Amino acid sequence: MHGADDGRERTSVCVIPIDELPDGLIVTDGFGRVLAVNRAAVRLTGVSVERAVGKDMDEVFPFRDHDGRDWWKALDPDGGLRTRSRVPERPLHLPGGQEVYVAARLIREPARGGDVARVAITLRDGGARARLERSRADLVSTVAHELRSPLTSVKGFTATLLARWPRFTDEQKLVMLETVNNDADRVTRLITELLDVSRIESGRLELHRQVVDVPARARRVIAGRVAAGEPEDRFRLVAGPDLPEMWLDQDKVDQILGNLIENAVRHGRGTVTIDIQSVGWGAAVSVRDEGEGIEPELAPRVFRQFWRGNSRRRGGTGLGLFIVKGLVEAHGGTITVQRAPEGGAEFRFTVPTGTPDFA
């Protein structure tokens, strides 16, 4: 039946036991009697081979859709167009069971327009996909929420100013405009960060490597904070001897240091120490402060998107550390957080020396 006589190209045949397939497989005859069930299908449905083989499909595998409709009955292998062979994948469940993605193929004899001789049904675990979809939906709703709050404030202040302009003093107007200005900055920052997040998640982050003087970059970030009004003695830079030549992406190094130093200033307290040491194969950079630090049990969470601990009011987006981790990892490095000797938070990342792009 697979010969060249049915007009199809002969495909190379490789026999693999159905138990080796990653997806669940159920095969029935044209009357819906189960002929075979593989191991993955047993795992996904909880129905043993002994219980299934020889029985009717709708008796042992009563798949239902979300509206409770009987999938097998709706599938109706005998009915419908005689050319129909593909049954698209759908999320279904067994009574009391988890979600599985089910697709099927009606195998006809003869291949075109014949009676259904067998039905091959594949099953895939729905849990992982549902979780992914849920986390995407969560992301969309978080982003929408994050964008809405500054925009609500922008809209509120501009509408008030437009409606009652003459009634406000210059000073009141100035305060309102400053708020609008800050909120607009916040939206811009959020969007820039979201674009970084999307590049990290899709693996589209590109590195343009060059020789980077890490201590000099840290000095520059500190100078920026000082220019913005932070007292100079709040920062301490320690750079060890014999730092190897580091081939990194300079803008991304600035972004990593900028984020960690900003966090230490904003979420921490006291002196912020930036310590850069050689580890032979690369550099280890630690940014620590003397604030409250991060509880060890919360440490795994700080690198997640939108995680802000209890500092929701401090204006951050909760994306900073997620991006920092993505940037460090893109360089082949790792980042961890622990309690600093002085009691605050200590973020420590290591990056290998790297090689020029053309190497």
Q: Which residue has the closest beta carbon to ligand ADP?
A: 316
The type of residue at 163 is A
Q: Whose Cβ is closer to ligand ADP: residue 174's or residue 195's?
A: 195
Binders of Mg ion among residues 244 to 283 (CB under 5 A) are: 263
Binders of ligand ADP among residues 298 to 357 (CB under 6 A) are: 302, 307-309, 311, 316-321, 345
Q: Whose Cβ is closer to Mg ion: residue 126's or residue 268's?
A: 268
Backbone angles phi, psi at 161, to 5 degrees: -60, -45
Binders of Mg ion among residues 317 to 346 (CB under 5 A) are: 320
Q: Which residue has the closest beta carbon to Mg ion?
A: 320
Compute the least distance from the CB of residue 246 to ligand ADP, in Å.
Answer: 24
Q: Cα dist. 245→35, 59, 241, 350 in Å? A: 65, 69, 12, 14
DSSP state of 54: T
DSSP state of 293: -
Q: Whose Cβ is closer to Mg ion: residue 157's or residue 322's?
A: 322
Stretch that binds ligand ADP, among 24-32, 198-206, 249-257, 285-293 (CB under 6 A): 285-293
d(CA 18, CA 233): 69
Compute the least distance from the CB of residue 323 to ligand ADP, in Å.
Answer: 8
Judge whether 33 and 54 are in contact, CB under 8 Å: yes
Q: What is the strand order of the sheet 99-109 is part of?
A: 34-37, 24-29, 115-125, 99-109, 86-93
Q: Show the tokens assigned to 229.
A: 């009004």
User: Judged by CB under 6 A, does residue 219 bind ligand ADP?
Assistant: no
Compute the least distance from the CB of residue 149 to Mg ion, in Å.
Answer: 17
Q: How far is CA 53 from the centre of its chain?
A: 41
Chain residues in the site for Mg ion (CB under 5 A): 263, 316, 320
Chain residues in the site for ligand ADP (CB under 6 A): 259, 263-264, 267-268, 289, 291, 293-294, 302, 307-309, 311, 316-321, 345
